[in-house]
């Protein structure tokens, strides 16, 4: 029995007829040739979030991103004019990697006045221009003007820094974000600067972890023990239903209930949650800056349900923003290292604590979050290894897994089109028009 209303068609999935309801193949999650096509027609064509403006706090702050899957290394920097720029991390003299510490393959961050190459000391200003050549007179017809760093398309939306590996992106960042560009704007992301960032190498295709985070059907089961035993059994018996699902193809969102912060009855949660007023849903006491959720962005909490707990947005292709009712946000990125492995990155963002109690409540929220992430991560390896056997060809997805169905389909379509198609068959008419 549905506890929350579904669309008139009877299900979220049938609300988008182009998606179908049949079993789907997971060959797209281990086939090496398909993976390469995803790199070629999705990851090297789309805008990819690489971080937040707060990570580049002053002129000269930089960080690198290693995109080994595309054979690319980037350096992202705040230049003298406070513009955030991205460059290919290669010296124009003889090709040495420009910015790295100790291990050339590892990401790094820091601050500098200029970039100086470790090999022969060519130097570049923060805007990429070549400003110093060692023994310049030894060169022949050196055209310094045209020997600046090779730039990469870079733009900022709501403080999130995006790059695009396509030398000529077919869309601006705002165009690519579509309805989300304004629909998710205005949240006080910039006030939530208390950041916990973790990364992990996961032995699964990148899409499998997205699957695990765009459906909560697994949550009452896989994570059952993380609730008190009585509450855990109750949740498992009831199962999970989303409040709302919506496609903004190729992006998507799910809205979920979450009445545990604070719980109706203290016995529903672990003693530590009561001691610290915090848990998986974050600290229970909302920071003033969210104004009691009076000014949520237009696409957040679309059902307006009083039991609303969290909205989870997939910003195509590999970035997720989760906005919690309790007044903080979480991001996930998935980098496709190989057909059956990826690098997972996650960041929790809170308002800087004003008291020690708030500080401990945030620490506990991180500790609990990480227990869930560890459970999720290891399950993926178990899934990947078995779908790769090919013993079973197709798998069935239920209505609460509509977003799994959708993002695999969106990838297929983009691969088939060679790049993002103009319209997806399941897009609502008013959007594709």
Partner 1 sequence: MSAPLALPEEFADLAQFEDWALETWRERYEKRLASTVDEMQALYDAITPRIEEILSYCDRHDVAELPDEVRNLMLLLFSLCEASLPVEIWRQPRVPDSGAADLTMVAEPRL
- Provide the binding-site residues for partner 1, judged by CB under 8 A: 194-200, 202, 225-226, 270-272, 275-276, 345, 347, 353-360, 362-364, 366-368, 370-371, 373-375, 377-379, 381
Residues that bind Fe ion in the complex, under the rule CB under 5 A? 376
The site partner of 412 among Fe ion, ligand FES, partner 1, none (C-beta below 5 to 8 Å per kind) is none
The most distant pair of C-alpha atoms in the chain lies apart, rounded to whole Å, by: 81
The site partner of 385 among ligand FES, Fe ion, partner 1, none (C-beta below 5 to 8 Å per kind) is none
Element (H, E) at 376: helix 356-387
- Cβ proximity to partner 1: between 241 and 381 the closer is 381
Give me the least distance between CB of 206 and partner 1, in Å please.
16
- Cβ proximity to partner 1: between 289 and 431 the closer is 289
Report if residue 122 touches ligand FES, rule: CB under 6 A: yes
Binding residue for ligand FES (CB under 6 A) from 11, 25, 96, 379?
A: 96
Stated length of the chain:
433
From 308, 303, 314, select the one nearest 213 (Cα to Cα).
314
As a whole number of Å, the CA-based R_g of the chain is 23
Percent helix, strand and coil across the chain, each rounded to 5?
Answer: 30, 25, 45
Handedness of CA 165, 166, 167, 170 (dihedral sign): negative
Paired tokens of 65: 């991103």
Q: Which backbone phi and psi does 425 adopt, to 5 degrees?
A: -60, -25
Report if residue 93 touches ligand FES, rule: CB under 6 A: yes
- Cβ proximity to ligand FES: between 108 and 338 the closer is 108
The number of CA neighbours under 13 Å toward the Cβ of 331 is 22
Report if residue 113 touches ligand FES, rule: CB under 6 A: no
The site partner of 29 among Fe ion, partner 1, ligand FES, none (C-beta below 5 to 8 Å per kind) is none
Give me the least distance between CB of 125 and ligand FES, in Å please.
15
User: Which stretch in 52-60, 87-95, 203-211, 417-425 sits in contact with ligand FES by CB under 6 A?
Assistant: 87-95
Give me the least distance between CB of 216 and Fe ion, in Å please.
8
**333 within 8 A of 318, measured Cβ to Cβ:** yes
Q: Please tell me the distance from the alpha carbon of residue 379 to that of residue 217, in angstroms, as a whole number.
A: 14
- Cβ proximity to partner 1: between 37 and 64 the closer is 64
Apex CA 299: angle with CA 334 and CA 413, to 5°?
Answer: 45
- Cβ proximity to partner 1: between 90 and 261 the closer is 261
Apex CA 419: angle with CA 162 and CA 171, to 5°?
Answer: 45
- Cβ proximity to ligand FES: between 24 and 91 the closer is 91
């Amino acid at each position: 029995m549905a506890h929350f209303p579904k669309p008139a068609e009877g299900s979220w999935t049938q609300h988008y007829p182009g998606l179908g309801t049949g079993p789907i193949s997971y060959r797209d999650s281990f086939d090496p040739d398909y993976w390469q096509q995803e790199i070629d027609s999705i990851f090297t064509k789309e805008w990819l979030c690489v971080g937040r403006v707060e990570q580049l706090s002053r002129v000269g702050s930089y960080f690198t991103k290693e995109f080994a899957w595309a054979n690319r290394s980037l350096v992202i920097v705040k230049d003298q004019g406070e513009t955030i720029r991205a460059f290919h991390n290669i010296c124009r003299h003889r090709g040495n990697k420009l910015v790295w510490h100790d291990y050339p393959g590892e990401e790094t961050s820091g601050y500098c006045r200029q970039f100086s190459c470790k090999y022969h000391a060519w130097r570049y200003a923060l805007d990429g221009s070549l400003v110093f050549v060692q023994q310049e007179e030894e060169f022949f017809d050196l055209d310094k003007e045209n020997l600046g760093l090779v730039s990469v398309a870079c733009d900022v939306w709501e403080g999130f820094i995006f790059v695009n590996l396509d030398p000529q992106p077919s869309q601006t960042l705002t165009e690519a974000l579509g309805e989300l560009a304004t629909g998710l704007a205005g949240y006080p992301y910039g006030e939530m600067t208390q950041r916990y960032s973790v990364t992990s190498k996961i032995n699964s295709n990148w899409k499998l972890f997205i699957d695990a985070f765009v459906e909560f059907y697994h949550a009452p089961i896989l994570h059952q023990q993380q609730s008190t035993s009585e509450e855990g059994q109750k949740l498992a018996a009831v199962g999970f239903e989303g409040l709302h699902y919506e496609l903004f193809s190729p992006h998507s969102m799910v809205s979920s209930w979450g009445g545990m912060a604070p719980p109706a009855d203290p016995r529903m949660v672990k003693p530590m949650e009561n001691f610290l007023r915090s848990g998986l849903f974050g600290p229970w006491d909302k920071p003033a800056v969210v104004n009691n959720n009076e000014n949520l962005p237009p696409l957040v909490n679309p059902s307006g349900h009083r039991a609303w707990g969290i909205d989870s947005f997939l910003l195509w292709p590999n970035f997720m923003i989760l906005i919690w009712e309790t007044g903080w946000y979480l991001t996930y990125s998935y980098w496709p290292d190989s057909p059956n492995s990826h690098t997972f990155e996650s960041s929790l963002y809170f308002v800087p604590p004003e008291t020690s109690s708030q500080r401990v409540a945030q620490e506990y929220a991180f500790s609990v979050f990480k227990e869930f992430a560890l459970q999720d991560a290891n399950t993926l390896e178990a899934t990947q290894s078995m779908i790769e056997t090919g013993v079973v060809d197709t798998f069935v997805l239920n209505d609460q897994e509509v977003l799994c169905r959708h993002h695999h389909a969106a990838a297929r379509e983009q691969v088939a089109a060679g790049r993002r198609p103009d319209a997806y068959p399941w897009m609502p008419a008013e959007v594709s028009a």
